[in-house]
């Protein structure tokens, strides 16, 4: 199964831009800014630094890494290296969640940020064969000023790869309804709504994301498993969840992987994709998340291939990308079956 997953063509829909920085890149940036950051400059020490006591601690650590990204060249290098790592895992398409406000408030103009990620996106597609798209998300802990600025950058700069508008950061103490006008404006300008909800709070946060923010996909959404009416609604409407199993354990949203509600969600007929969230920070990869999902759901290779197809169908990828990637997954699954003992015609 591990070998099958390693070679499986995939899409990833919930992976954070800065949160995907490889330890090598984080350490290099920390060394460059030594004396002004708590982030270790030794990659070997980052595993301990990335051990989180709760979600609040995770946010603190995450922002300390964000603080290392101080100019447009840092952004470009980070983005390209994230694409390179994803392509090594046979990811053909990814929607990276970017938080331009976090860089803007540290002095980087929105124009420079967008130019850097677009340059990296074009290079990655040309040189690595991976198609990248962006979700610009509001850091909820920064309140309405961050929503205003995120929307301004999104609609003012209009980077070619931008497809969606999101809301991240802590859920506790950050009510979703207050962001409704910003999501309405984003959707009116052609962006999809993909807020985080129901990761560290209960089902009501998900209902708010649906009813107030017109969510088309939900980031995490695992607390839906606590509400039969919500499960039924998600299954009926086909609104998918972006599930990140290891992340939920590492941020203490779930006590241990055996208690993860993934199977409950699937059994209720909820559409979902498997994702890595902030992979180096959580000591995971997308390939590993597929292994975790295969174990939790007791899937065979064909079941895992169907998970990969689901992510493609739920994505905001151009039609040509979806068609090509679905065909590639189908061919790979057939060839894998033929190679097994007793396989073939």
Paired residues of 294 in beta bridges: none
> 196-197 and 272-274: which strand pairing?
unpaired
Give the chain's domain count: 1
Q: Is residue 342 over pLDDT 80?
A: no
Residues 17/98, Cβ–Cβ less than 8 Å: yes
Say if 38 falls within a structural domain: yes
Predicted local distance difference test score (pLDDT) of residue 343:
55
Say if 344 falls within a structural domain: no
Q: Is 199 a catalytic residue?
A: yes
Say if 345 falls within a structural domain: no
More confidently predicted of 280 and 132:
132
Q: Is residue 4 over pLDDT 80?
A: yes
What is the model's pTM? 0.93
Say if 42 falls within a structural domain: yes
Say if 342 falls within a structural domain: no
Sequence-ordered list of residues with C-beta below 8 angstroms from that of 9, at least 6 positions apart, any chain? 90, 92, 308, 325, 328, 329, 332
- Digit-coded pLDDT (tens) for 266-312: 999 999 999 999 998 899 999 999 999 999 999 999 999 999 999 99
Predicted local distance difference test score (pLDDT) of residue 341:
66
CA–CA gap between residue 58 and residue 29 (Å, rounded)? 19
- Which tokens sit at 59? 């946010």
Which residue range forms the structural domain that includes residue 54?
2-337
- Digit-coded pLDDT (tens) for 190-241: 999 999 999 999 999 999 999 999 999 999 999 999 999 999 999 999 999 9
Stretch 148-169: mean pLDDT: 97
Hey, which bits of 199-338 come out as E strands?
A: 218-220, 241-243, 272-274
Catalytic choice (199, 216, 289, 291): 199
Stretch 164-187: mean pLDDT: 96
More confidently predicted of 58 and 318:
318
Q: Which helix (H) or strand (E) holds 252?
A: none
- Which tokens sit at 181? 């006008």
Q: Is residue 116 over pLDDT 90?
A: yes
Predicted local distance difference test score (pLDDT) of residue 299:
98
Stretch 231-254: mean pLDDT: 97
CA–CA gap between residue 62 and residue 19 (Å, rounded)? 7
> 162-168 and 10-16: which strand pairing?
unpaired
Say if 303 falls within a structural domain: yes
- Digit-coded pLDDT (tens) for 45-98: 887 888 888 888 888 888 888 888 888 998 998 999 999 999 999 999 999 999
More confidently predicted of 34 and 213:
213
Say if 266 falls within a structural domain: yes
Predicted local distance difference test score (pLDDT) of residue 228:
98
Say if 343 falls within a structural domain: no
Domain with residue 307: its CATH number is 3.20.20.140
């Amino acid at each position: 199964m591990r070998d099958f997953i390693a070679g499986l063509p995939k899409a990833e829909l919930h992976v954070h831009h800065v949160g995907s920085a490889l330890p090598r890149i984080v350490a290099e940036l920390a060394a460059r800014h030594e004396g002004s950051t708590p982030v270790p400059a030794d990659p070997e020490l980052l595993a301990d630094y990335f051990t989180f006591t709760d979600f609040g601690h995770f946010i603190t650590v995450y922002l300390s890494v964000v603080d290392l990204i101080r100019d447009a060249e840092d952004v470009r290098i980070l983005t390209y290296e994230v694409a390179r790592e994803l392509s090594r895992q046979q990811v053909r398409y990814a929607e990276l969640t970017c938080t331009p406000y976090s860089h803007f408030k540290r002095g980087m103009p929105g124009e420079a940020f967008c130019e850097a990620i677009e340059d990296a996106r074009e290079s990655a597609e040309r040189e690595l064969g991976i198609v990248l798209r962006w979700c610009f998300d509001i850091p909820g802990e920064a309140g309405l000023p961050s929503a205003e600025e995120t929307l301004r950058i999104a609609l003012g700069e209009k980077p070619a790869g931008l497809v969606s508008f999101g809301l991240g950061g802590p859920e506790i103490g950050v009510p979703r309804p207050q962001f409704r006008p910003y999501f309405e404006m984003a959707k009116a300008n052609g962006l999809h709504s993909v807020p985080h909800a129901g990761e560290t709070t209960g089902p009501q946060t998900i209902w708010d994301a649906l009813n107030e923010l017109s969510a088309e996909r939900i980031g995490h959404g695992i607390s839906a498993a606590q509400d039969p009416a919500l499960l039924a609604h998600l299954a009926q409407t086909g609104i998918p969840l972006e599930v990140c199993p290891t992340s939920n354990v590492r941020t203490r949203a779930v006590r241990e992987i055996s208690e993860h509600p993934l199977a409950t969600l699937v059994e209720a007929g909820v559409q979902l994709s498997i994702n890595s969230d902030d992979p180096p920070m959580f000591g995971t990869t997308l390939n590993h998340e597929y292994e975790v999902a295969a174990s939790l759901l007791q899937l065979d290779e064909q079941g895992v291939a169907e998970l990969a197809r689901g992510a493609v169908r739920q994505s905001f990828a151009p039609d040509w990308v979806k068609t090509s990637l679905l065909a590639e997954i189908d061919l790979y699954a057939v060839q894998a079956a033929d190679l097994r003992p007793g396989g073939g015609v």
